[in-house]
Amino acid sequence: MSSKTILIVDDSKTMRAMLVSTIESINNYNIVEASTGFEALRLLPREKVDLILTDINMPDINGLELLSYLRNNPNYQEIPVIIISSEGSQKDIDKGKQLGANDYVIKPFDPARVQELIQLYLG
């Protein structure tokens, strides 16, 4: 069985590193990182991605715009997307879910919760 690939999209290097170590401790997933939504869009055609973890607040294309693009593109609309953001208001969460996020985790995140979600979506 080939290993699944997780794309982490966050403009914070520290946050990406925290997510990488959270993911590496549960399984041997391939991890691809993008520091902006634009970079994520450039990576998608080249990588088969099975799950996306994205921040909302980023330069250029933000997480919600990225999500909206994914949900409107037949090649990517089935990929589970988990938003991991410091934007924790109910309005933000509702907006993320309306745009098609599978889940929403508020920073600072609980690694166990993120691991649980990854296993839920990647089996």
pLDDT, tens digit, for every residue of 22-36? Answer: 999 888 899 999 999
- pTM of the entire predicted model: 0.96
Distance of CA 40 to the CA centre of its chain: 10
Largest interatomic CA distance in the chain: 40
Distance in angstroms (rounded) separating the CA atoms of residues 113 and 110? 5
Q: Which two tokens stand for residue 86?
A: 């410091």
Q: Residue 97: what pLDDT?
A: 96
Omega within 30 of 0 (cis) for the link into 108: yes
Cα angle: 102, vertex 7, 11; to 5 degrees: 100
Q: Residue 59: what pLDDT?
A: 86
Q: Residue 123: what pLDDT?
A: 84
Domain boundaries, the chain: 5-122
The CATH number of the structural domain formed by 5-122 is: 3.40.50.2300
